[in-house]
Structure 1
Amino acid sequence: MATSESSGVAERYASALFDLAREQNALDEVESNASNLRQMIAESDDLRRLMDSPVFKAEDQIRALDAVMASHGVGGLVANFAKLTAKNRRLFALGDMLKAFAGLMAKHRGETLAVVTSASPLNDEQLETLRQVLSEKTGGTMKLETVVDPSLIGGLIVRLGSQMIDTSVRTRLLGLRQAMKEAA
């Protein structure tokens, strides 16, 4: 979870990346590379450890990050951006920066970004149904970003801006546990 300080850093960096990509008419390319890098971060515990640990020197982080990005075809502005965050000792916030960039892109296209966390991957039909329901509720076009968190056990957590809808089994069980403690 991002602190308010790292959220501010993430917003500033994301805004700078967005502005630079727009100036260079590279919004689509940057969005694609940023999405690929976010996915790499989400899927690799080793990469997250490299990014989060203050023990690694910036030069080592840059070298490792450069190799990983090159092997996954992430280049251009996004690769330079990621290396700059490492150089500035802000690599710990890169995931938040890329998430903020995705939000700026959605806003640029007139979409509302909803982050949907589920216990297992949602299929295309489920995603489309969810997109339609959320579009009806908000009255706008929805862009869904999915995250898989098996600890939810079942159900969903949907974040729309500052609003959160939590129907996860984990939350229900925690609520039940708390109710049982209070009743005892």
Structure 2
Amino acid sequence: MSESDQVTDTNSEISGVAERYARALFDLALEEKALDAVEKDLSSIEAIMDESEDFMRLVRSPVFTADEQLAAVSALLEKAGISGIVGNFVRVIANNRRLFSLPGMIKAFRNIVTTHRGEQVAEVTSAQPLTDANLKALKKSLKEALGKDVAIDAKVDADILGGLVVKVGSQMVDSSVRTKLNSLKIALKEVG
């Protein structure tokens, strides 16, 4: 991720707009008894955003008209097999010129769902994607440490080189290789 992407990354902040749309989506999903299906479809959209720079340009750029965004998003949703509540939701936000808030809306939706389920969210960053077995073991360890169920929001950042960065609420454990190397570098400067 480039520095300019980090500056405009809407996942780090959840705006009031994102929160309101996420709350509306949550209420509808709850009413339709479709929380799991909505979560799955949102994860699919998030994966597409992570994999496609073109899609992220479409999401972030104010240059595209609402009609252009709606046409592109509709084609993408159809290709990905996403319809129903989430398909309609994404079309509405594209039509309302709020597509730039989609990453924040997805994060806000997850936060609402985890609160609803009595879980706590752990943001986990690893250098490579975690396997299902890794995620299961990490969830178990975090549940034992925190005393409650934990939903894992997994991200991949190759820049950490190895290890994990785990953030739960205001607590963070950084066991990344990058941090360890930086600490070693500082220690060597002090000695030398």
Both proteins in one fold, TM over 0.5: yes
1:142-181 CA-to-partner distances (Å, cap 9, x unmatched) read 2223211111111111122343322222234445556677
Q: Give the structure 1 partner of residue 5 of structure 2.
A: none
Matched, 1:34 2:49: no
Does the 8 Å contact 2:128/2:157 carry over to 1? yes
Structure 2 runs not aligned, ≥5 long: 1-8
- The alignment status of 1:105 with 2:113, answered yes or no, reads yes
Q: 1:33 to 1:154 in 2, by over 3 A?
A: same
CA 1:11/1:161 → structure 2, altered by over 3 Å: closer, same or farther?
A: farther
Cα deviation for residue 29 of structure 1 reads 2.1
Pick the aligned partner of 1:64 from 64, 68, 72.
Answer: 72
Give the alignment's TM-score, normalised by structure 1.
0.87
RMSD of aligned alpha carbons = 2.4
SS where residue 140 of structure 1 aligns? coil
Cα deviation digits, residues 47-72 of structure 1 (max 9, x gap): 11110111111111111111111111
Q: How does 1:16-165 map to 2 (within 5 A)?
A: 16-165=24-173
Aligned residue among 12, 29, 38 for 2:20:
12
TM-score, normalisation: structure 2: 0.83
Structure 1 pair 4–31 and aligned structure 2 pair: CA distance change class (3 A): closer
Deviation at 1:103, TM superposition (A): 1.9
Structure 1: which 5+ runs fail to align? Answer: none
Offset, 1:121:
1.7
Amino acid at match of 1:120: Q
Say whether the 8 Å CA contact 2:11–2:104 is kept in structure 1: no
- Aligned AA for 2:39? E
CA distance in 2, matches of 1:139, 1:146: 20
Aligned-residue identity in percent? 48
Give the aligned residue type for 1:110: G
The answer to whether the 8 Å contact 2:18/2:102 transfers is yes
